[in-house]
């Protein structure tokens, strides 16, 4: 296999997180190829030196390692198994790394398809949102063959701060499901805490100064509570995508005979936001649903 430092990198998906992530690899000096459904969203990456490629199959043919960071499992399915998909373009020793949050079963399907072409695949979803992507501080959880994880680790270290090998194919996605389950209930707690402080007449910034240094401290409190207080509901992570993730987790939980009432509640609250046309807002927009339940207008 070619040495990582000489590898040609392909990237598919240049959304809120993907563009920043691929930008870090280009800044590190890697030769890069890019494809996205909307070409204009790749323009800044092309200015950095990435070469536009017309479809995923060609990205796989030109690249040694291909990263994908798209929206939904259906998008992953199309990118990998579509008429001009990645699987049709891979050959011996090429590596596919899907960083989308998708189903563990799809991750295993990609792994098996790559193996049949004597290539390799990792599922490596991330956590940390737009801030983590911009600052290269993402948490990356990977599943697949350990030797392939070890090989691409230098690339993952360019993208994230906490990178952990979780086990066989699909293990990365299962870990991300656990991550999303925890975030779902945490977001409810953060929003409810802010509402309580507001109704109690507290200064929210002074309140946060105290509780962010105690047992309530967490990423959501530190990063999203300030956005909520400013009325900033723009996405670091889309509600639509979070609903997708929670749906996957609920399906997996059902398959394992697990009852997760906290996750179910969060899912229902976010579905109400989607019904109110907030699906393109950030997950912190949960504050709207909880304000409405308490009859608050501000």
Q: Measured between alpha carbons, how far is residue 67 from residues 25, 70, 115, 225 in Å?
A: 11, 10, 17, 31
CA–CA gap between residue 217 and residue 211 (Å, rounded)? 7
First vs last Cα of the chain: how many Å apart? 58
CA–CA gap between residue 22 and residue 27 (Å, rounded)? 9
- Give the phi and the psi of residue 62 in degrees, each rounded to 5: -85, -20
DSSP 196: H
- 176 has catalytic annotation: yes
Which residues lie below 8 Å from residue 7, measured CB to CB, with a gap of 6+?
30, 63, 64, 65, 155
Alpha helical stretches, state H, the chain: 18-27, 43-47, 56-62, 73-81, 104-116, 129-135, 146-159, 171-199, 204-211, 219-223, 225-230, 239-255, 261-275, 286-293
- Give the phi and the psi of residue 17 in degrees, each rounded to 5: -105, -40
Angle between helices 286-293 and 171-199 (to 10 degrees): 40
Marked catalytic residue, from 94, 151, 176, 281 = 176
CA dihedral sign of residues 206, 211, 214, 218:
negative
Q: Which among 127, 153, 103, 162 has a CA at the least distance from the CA of 17?
A: 127
Residues carrying an active site annotation: 176
């Amino acid at each position: 296999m070619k040495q990582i430092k000489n590898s040609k990198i392909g990237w598919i998906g240049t959304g809120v997180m993907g563009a920043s992530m691929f930008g870090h690899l280009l800044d590190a000096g890697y030769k890069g190829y890019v494809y996205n459904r909307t070409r204009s969203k790749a323009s800044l990456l092309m200015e950095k030196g990435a070469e536009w490629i017309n479809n995923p199959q060609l990205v796989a043919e030109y690249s040694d390692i291909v990263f994908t960071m798209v929206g939904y499992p259906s998008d992953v399915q199309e990118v990998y198994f579509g008429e001009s998909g990645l699987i049709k373009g891979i050959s011996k020793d090429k590596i596919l790394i899907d960083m989308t949050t998708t189903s563990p079963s799809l991750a295993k399907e990609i792994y098996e398809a790559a193996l049949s072409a004597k290539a390799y695949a990792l599922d490596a979803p991330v956590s940390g949102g737009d801030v983590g992507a911009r600052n290269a501080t993402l948490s990356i959880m990977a599943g697949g063959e350990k030797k392939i994880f070890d090989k691409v680790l230098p690339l993952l270290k360019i993208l994230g701060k906490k990178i952990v090998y979780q086990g066989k194919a699909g293990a990365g996605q299962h870990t991300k499901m656990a991550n999303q389950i925890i975030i779902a209930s945490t977001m409810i707690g953060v929003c409810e805490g802010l509402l309580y402080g507001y109704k109690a007449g507290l200064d929210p910034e002074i309140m946060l100064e105290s509780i962010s240094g105690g047992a309530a401290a967490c990423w959501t409190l530190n990063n999203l509570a300030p956005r909520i207080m400013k009325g900033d509901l723009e996405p670091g992570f889309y509600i639509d995508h979070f609903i997708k993730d929670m749906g996957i987790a609920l399906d997996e939980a059902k398959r394992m005979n697990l009852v997760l009432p906290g996750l179910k509640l969060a899912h229902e609250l976010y579905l109400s936001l989607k019904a109110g046309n907030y699906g393109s807002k950030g997950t912190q927009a949960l504050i709207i649903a909880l304000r409405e339940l308490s009859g608050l207008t501000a």
